[in-house]
Structure 1
Amino acid sequence: MSDDALTAGLAPTATAEPLAADSPFKRLLHTFLEDKLAVIGLVLFTLVVLLAIFAPLIAPQNPYDLAQLDVLDGGLPPGSASMSTGGIYYLGTDEQGRDMLSAILYGLRISLLVATVSLAFAIAIGVTAGTMAAYFGGKIDSLIMRMVDLQLSFPAILIALILLALWGRGVDKVIIALVIVQWAYYARTVRSSAIVEARKDYIEAAHCLALSHSRIMFHHLLPNCLPPLIVVATVQIAQAIALEATLSFLGAGVPITEPSLGLLIANGYNYLLSGRYWVSLFPGIALVLTIVAINLVGDRLRDVFNPRLQK
């Protein structure tokens, strides 16, 4: 083979390298980073997650260890020194002498745990139901979508309150309740995308190859429905955190031995009139910042995956 032929054969490979470097993922990442608010939200949420994970190493005190609590330190305002150890309570203490900074860090762990675990199970159930509805159609589609319509016709907080009133308080019970009230969102989202993909040529080709239904649904159909699912999941995790906080604030969520941010706010609510605002204020700020950070990321992801929404 001549040198010209070799050069001609290698030419496409040489020109393909710059295109490979500009992958779809890099383009999406570049588009996401163009929004400074979204970057701030991502950094803030990452910080919140890291603080929650490493709370036992960062927190000055284990707020659930009674041996570390001192009633003499109860109700101290922010910046006060401990009566016994001399340490500084930067965010004050509650009536039991619990350091509010430590309580917030541990409360973040419970809130994020409940939200992420319920999110994972809700996605698994909703994605399976939505994909089956779009793929099989007919009576299966009608049955699943009637269940989804019935689920979404009631407020999520009402369903969760009824379930927890029957089951009682507990982290596991809150997770199950949140799964029940959230799975329908993912089922409807995936079904609306999958019903379009199910009519395309590559699905027909998969049928011609006699692939199994499960392989077609989860290896070929579902991956093309992920962009809207990612956006909905990002928004729903913020809603799950807010919903868990509401349930705990109303006394129907996690037990007092494992308080989340919502329960910390509820505990401090009784002391607002006495001037001890910090017991409720700082957990409330932590909750708001977490939800706002997630929503900023979710709004930008919606714009990234749907360019028509970009300004």
Structure 2
Amino acid sequence: MTDTLKATETRAARLRPHWRATPMARFAAEFADSPVAVAALFVTLTLGLLALFANFITPQNPYDLMQLDIMEGMQPPGSTSFDGTMTYHLGTDQQGRDMLSAIIFGLRMSLGVGAMSTVIALSVGMSIGVLAAYFGGRVDSIIMRIVDLQLSFPAILVALILLAVLGKGVDKVIFALIIVQWAYYARTVRGTALVERRKEYIEAASCLALSHRRIVFRHLLPNCLPPLIVVATVQVANAIALEATLSFLGVGVPITEPSLGLLIANGYDYMLSGRYWIAFFPGVALLVTIVAINLVGDQLRDVLNPRLKR
């Protein structure tokens, strides 16, 4: 009996802060229920900070020709420079670039392209999708036929065609990723907005003769954000993978810009010669980044929509 009472008191003490906590605190507590997700979030934030402060923490700027020495090329992991002032923990590539520094600079490019394209595509798709759901009728029909047409083609194919027309460049890659992604957000927000559109608070706002703009952007759209947050998190990882694929194929960012896809492409020809580190370590960095972001997105989905929790 005593053990049962103690167990009950312990459980009550554990639950009490959740009832009194703010919504943000409850959200954080529910997210922290998954140690894997917490670890993935820590890895994602660490990679983001490394990319943000790449100029200050890397021992070398791998894209500054004044700091490179071709005689240092193809050094294996753990080797030391000829003058003894620098240790190449992950080795060097054929141009003498420190692979650790190149990977961190490549992370900055990949994360930046993925995040920027996702934010812009989210804004465009969110606005179009909520307008389609709110006005319905012919507007909804036309918009959704365009969305269906967009989603009927593979994303990589659309991006390849666009870049073949536009050419190489970071801005062109971002534009191609926006065109590829916006339809996902439009379809997601439309489905959520159709449900919210029939609720009483929207009908009450219409009865009060509020403007369409105020109803859409102040009442309808904020209630459609939770599923969009999950989709956006996953799409960041997809955008990073797509950018790396395009760069690997030689149609993405130019060779003068750091990118994980370009680093993998540079080392691909040396894999069979035993110089595995040139492509292997950038590939591991890309894999860890995508997996960590996807794990964070999965936990966000479970927290924001418990019905989808496995």
Q: TM-score range by the shorter chain?
A: over 0.9
* CA distance in structure 2 between the partners assigned to 1:34 and 1:21 by the alignment: 18
1:127/1:167 CA distance change after superposition, 3 Å: same
- Paired residues for 1:197-208 under 5 Å: 197-208=196-207
- Paired residues for 1:192-271 under 5 Å: 192-271=191-270
- TM-score by structure 2 length? 0.93
Where in structure 2 are there 5+ consecutive unaligned residues?
1-16
* CA distance in structure 1 between the partners assigned to 2:168 and 2:140 by the alignment: 35
Q: What is residue 277 of structure 2 aligned with on the other side? A: 278
Q: CA RMSD in A?
A: 1.4
AA aligned opposite 1:126: G
- Alignment of 1:293 with 2:305, yes or no, is no
Structure 2 residue matching 1:273: 3-state secondary structure: helix
* CA distance in structure 2 between the partners assigned to 1:251 and 1:19 by the alignment: 51
- Alignment of 1:114 with 2:113, yes or no, is yes
AA aligned opposite 1:263: L
Q: What is residue 60 of structure 1 aligned with on the other side? A: 59
* CA distance in structure 1 between the partners assigned to 2:18 and 2:168 by the alignment: 55
* CA distance in structure 2 between the partners assigned to 1:45 and 1:275 by the alignment: 31
Cα contact 2:118–2:178 (8 A) shared by 1? yes
Q: C-alpha deviations, 1:135-174, integer Å up to 9, x for none?
A: 0000100011001000000000000001001111100000
1:286/1:19 CA distance change after superposition, 3 Å: closer
Deviation at 1:212, TM superposition (A): 1.2
AA aligned opposite 1:205: A
Q: What is residue 179 of structure 2 aligned with on the other side? A: 180
- Paired residues for 1:54-203 under 5 Å: 54-203=53-202
* CA distance in structure 2 between the partners assigned to 1:92 and 1:103 by the alignment: 11
Cα contact 2:260–2:286 (8 A) shared by 1? yes
Q: C-alpha deviations, 1:6-64, integer Å up to 9, x for none?
A: xxxxxxxxxxxx89832332222211100011001000000000000011011000011
AA aligned opposite 1:101: L
Cα contact 2:51–2:107 (8 A) shared by 1? yes
AA aligned opposite 1:109: R
AA aligned opposite 1:234: T
Deviation at 1:83, TM superposition (A): 1.5
AA aligned opposite 2:100: L
* CA distance in structure 2 between the partners assigned to 1:70 and 1:132 by the alignment: 56
Q: C-alpha deviations, 1:253-298, integer Å up to 9, x for none?
A: 0000002001100000011121110000000010000001001101
* CA distance in structure 2 between the partners assigned to 1:137 and 1:208 by the alignment: 18
AA aligned opposite 2:255: I
Cα contact 2:241–2:290 (8 A) shared by 1? yes
* CA distance in structure 2 between the partners assigned to 1:21 and 1:117 by the alignment: 37
Deviation at 1:309, TM superposition (A): 2.5
* CA distance in structure 2 between the partners assigned to 1:285 and 1:149 by the alignment: 35
* CA distance in structure 1 between the partners assigned to 2:242 and 2:41 by the alignment: 21
- TM-score by structure 1 length? 0.92
* CA distance in structure 1 between the partners assigned to 2:18 and 2:182 by the alignment: 39
* CA distance in structure 1 between the partners assigned to 2:18 and 2:205 by the alignment: 29
Where in structure 1 are there 5+ consecutive unaligned residues?
1-17
Deviates more, 1:79-88 or 1:237-246: 79-88
AA aligned opposite 1:123: L
* CA distance in structure 1 between the partners assigned to 2:107 and 2:21 by the alignment: 38
AA aligned opposite 1:81: T
Cα contact 2:18–2:26 (8 A) shared by 1? no
Deviation at 1:206, TM superposition (A): 0.8
Q: What is residue 307 of structure 1 aligned with on the other side? A: 306
AA aligned opposite 1:244: E
* CA distance in structure 2 between the partners assigned to 1:95 and 1:263 by the alignment: 13
Q: C-alpha deviations, 1:114-152, integer Å up to 9, x for none?
A: 111101110111000000000000010001100100000
| Corresponding residue pairs, total | 295
